[in-house]
Amino acid sequence: MTLAEDLLVADFNQCFAQMRHYDEAFRRTLEFSLGGIASVVTASGALLGRYGTTLLTCRLVGTLLLLSSAASLLLIALMARNRVYFAIVAKFVNAVRSHYIGKSPGGFSNPSKMHCDHRLPKIFSPGSTQSIQLYFLSTCSSLLFSAAVVLFHASFSMAKGREIVVFWVEPASAALLFLLGEIGWVLFYWRRKQRSRTADTAVSGR
């Protein structure tokens, strides 16, 4: 092979490894996020179960849930950004494979129809596995936010000496708005990056 071909093969191998790295990073961030949510829920239940529903515990646990839902937003943004990197590298891998298969090396014509379309995978892909995982994480974080709303409402009622009455319309609406805001931002972000003409534009925004 020529030097140019050797460099292309090396680039292909490195990009394939990089693609696996981004996919693994996405998975680990998801696992960390879900583990964190489980820990927060456990700690919240333990505090309320041990000390009861008091003004202090409601405000403390409500703040914990609110901060946790805010932290999940940062992790979701990180995962959305990681999806951009993954898709760009995967497109290059497909482009190199298409170039190689186009030469029919040894008579090979890709009968299994292995991915070789440089336009895929799309950054904006609402039905992809990574998208579904983000939807699930967003749902979990929206439930944390909804629970925080309930606890703060209870603390305000106790502070004014009123009976604690939970109207589920408010927390349900809060959860829905929070969820739609999360998913809407992610899809809008991916859509905007999908329209980028070059990889540099998609990554750096320039």
**Each residue's pLDDT tens digit, 79-98:** 999 999 999 999 999 999 88
What is the residue whose two structure tokens read 């540099």?
200
Type of residue found at 31: E
DSSP 160: T
Q: What is the pLDDT of residues 102-153, one digit of tens each?
A: 888 777 788 888 888 889 999 999 999 999 999 999 999 999 999 999 999 9
User: Rounded to an integer, what distance in angstroms lies between the CA atom of residue 125 and that of residue 131?
Assistant: 7
Query: Is the N-terminal amide bond of 121 cis, ω within 30° of 0?
Result: yes
> Quick count: other Cβ atoms within 10 Å of Cβ 80?
22
Within 8 A by CB and 6+ apart from 70, the residues are: none
> Quick count: other Cβ atoms within 10 Å of Cβ 102?
11
| This prediction's pTM | 0.91
DSSP string, 122-155: -S--TTSHHHHHHHHHHHHHHHHHHHHHHHHHHH
Task: Provide the mean pLDDT of the chain.
Answer: 92
**Contact (Cβ atoms closer than 8 angstroms) between residue 94 and residue 122:** no
